[in-house]
Structure 1
Amino acid sequence: MTLTKGGLTTLGLLALTGFAGFSASITQACTRAVYLGKEGMVVTGRTMDWAEDMHSNIWLFPRGMKRDGGFDEASVKWTSKYGSIVTSVYESASADGMNEKGLVANLLYLAESDYELPGDQRPSLMISAWAQYFLDNFATVKEAVEDAKKEAYRIVTTEAPNGAKGTVHLSISDPTGDSAIFEYVKGKLVIHHSRDFQVMTNSPVFDEQIALNKYWEQIGGTVMLPGTNRAADRFARASFYVNACKQSADPHEAVACALSVMRNVSVPIGISTPNQPNISSTLWRTASNQKNLVYFFESTLSPSLVWIRLKELDFSEAAGVRKLVLAGRPELGGDQTRGFEKAAPFKFLAPEKK
Structure 2
Amino acid sequence: MKLQIKKIVAINLALLLLSTSAFPCTGITLQSKDGGVVVARTVEWALNDAQHNQILIVPRNKKFKGQTPDGYNGKSWVGKYGFVTLTAYGQPYGPDGMNEEGLYVGVYYLPDFAEYNLYDPKNAENSMSVGDLMQWMLSSFKTVDEIVAHLKEVVVVKVDNKDFGGAELPFHFKIVDPSGNSKIIEIVNGGEVKIYDPYLGVITNSPTYDWHIINQRNYLNLSNVPNNPVTLKDYNLKPLGGGSGLMGLPGDFTPPSRFVRAAAFTATCRPLDNTLEAVFESFRILDNFNIPLGAQVPTERLPSDIVSATQVTSSSDLKNKKPIR
TM range (shorter): 0.7 to 0.9
1:296 aligns with 2:324: yes
Report the residue type matching 1:114 in the other structure.
Answer: E
Deviation at 1:100, TM superposition (A): 0.8
Once residues 209 and 203 of structure 1 are traced to their aligned partners in structure 2, the CA distance between those partners, rounded to angstroms, is 9
Q: Which runs of 5 or more residues in structure 1 are unaligned?
A: 1-20, 298-354
1:31 aligns with 2:26: yes
CA-atom RMSD, angstroms?
Answer: 2.5
Once residues 119 and 155 of structure 1 are traced to their aligned partners in structure 2, the CA distance between those partners, rounded to angstroms, is 9
Question: Of residues 232, 254, 271 in structure 2, which corresponds to 1:230?
Answer: 254
1:121-179 CA-to-partner distances (Å, cap 9, x unmatched) read 4322122222111110110111111111x243233332453232111111111111111
Once residues 184 and 322 of structure 2 are traced to their aligned partners in structure 1, the CA distance between those partners, rounded to angstroms, is 23
Deviation at 1:55, TM superposition (A): 1.9
Equivalent position of 1:84 in the other structure: 83
The answer to which of 25-34 and 106-115 deviates more is 25-34
Equivalent position of 2:6 in the other structure: none
Whose helix fraction is larger, Structure 1's or Structure 2's? Answer: 2
1:324-346 CA-to-partner distances (Å, cap 9, x unmatched) read xxxxxxxxxxxxxxxxxxxxxxx
Equivalent position of 2:51 in the other structure: 55
Q: Given the superposition, is the C-alpha separation of residues 22 and 115 from structure 1 closer, same or farther in structure 2, using an over 3 Å criterion?
A: farther
- 1:188-199 paired onto structure 2 within 5 Å: 188-194=191-197, 196=199, 198-199=201-202
Once residues 110 and 151 of structure 1 are traced to their aligned partners in structure 2, the CA distance between those partners, rounded to angstroms, is 23
- 1:97-116 paired onto structure 2 within 5 Å: 97-111=97-111, 112-116=113-117
| Native 8 Å contact 1:178 1:195 kept in 2 | no
| Native 8 Å contact 1:247 1:254 kept in 2 | no
Equivalent position of 1:133 in the other structure: 136
| Native 8 Å contact 2:178 2:318 kept in 1 | yes
Q: Given the superposition, is the C-alpha separation of residues 120 and 227 from structure 1 closer, same or farther in structure 2, using an over 3 Å criterion?
A: farther
Q: Given the superposition, is the C-alpha separation of residues 68 and 22 from structure 1 closer, same or farther in structure 2, using an over 3 Å criterion?
A: farther
Q: Given the superposition, is the C-alpha separation of residues 256 and 186 from structure 1 closer, same or farther in structure 2, using an over 3 Å criterion?
A: same
Deviation at 1:23, TM superposition (A): 10
Equivalent position of 2:189 in the other structure: 186
Q: Given the superposition, is the C-alpha separation of residues 290 and 217 from structure 1 closer, same or farther in structure 2, using an over 3 Å criterion?
A: farther
Question: Of residues 28, 32, 39 in structure 2, which corresponds to 1:44?
Answer: 39
Once residues 153 and 119 of structure 1 are traced to their aligned partners in structure 2, the CA distance between those partners, rounded to angstroms, is 10
| Native 8 Å contact 2:26 2:203 kept in 1 | yes
The answer to which of 96-105 and 209-218 deviates more is 209-218
Equivalent position of 1:285 in the other structure: 313
Structure 1 counterpart SS, 2:261: helix
Report the residue type matching 1:70 in the other structure.
Answer: Q
Q: Which runs of 5 or more residues in structure 2 are unaligned?
A: 1-15, 225-244, 299-306
Equivalent position of 1:143 in the other structure: 146
Q: Given the superposition, is the C-alpha separation of residues 22 and 169 from structure 1 closer, same or farther in structure 2, using an over 3 Å criterion?
A: farther
**Number of aligned residues:** 273
Once residues 268 and 121 of structure 2 are traced to their aligned partners in structure 1, the CA distance between those partners, rounded to angstroms, is 45
Equivalent position of 1:251 in the other structure: 275
TM-score w.r.t. the length of structure 2 is: 0.77
Report the residue type matching 2:213 in the other structure.
Answer: I
Deviation at 1:223, TM superposition (A): 2.4
Question: Of residues 173, 189, 204 in structure 1, which corresponds to 2:176?
Answer: 173
> Percentage identity across aligned positions?
31
